[in-house]
Amino acid sequence: MKIAIAGGHGKIARQLSRLLSAGGHEPWALIRNADHTADVENGLFAVECGWRVTRR
């Protein structure tokens, strides 16, 4: 099963991703900063999530 993890660069998310991978799942880390891609565990897919905030 593919599972998206919000805040994928965090300590808990990285531990969770190892457990999910060991269980046969495919974890995807959602990160805000492309610089954190290298810190994401091997075997975990990293997706940079950028957004624009506008004032009304």
Q: How far apart are CA 34 and CA 19, in angstroms?
A: 24
The pLDDT value recorded for residue 53 is 44
Mean pLDDT on 18-38: 86
pLDDT recorded at residue 14: 87
CA distance 32 to 7: 8
pLDDT surpassing 70 at residue 11: yes
pLDDT at 10 over 80: yes
Contact 44, 17 (CB under 8 A): yes
pTM above 0.75, yes or no: no
- Hey, where are the domains in the chain? 2-48
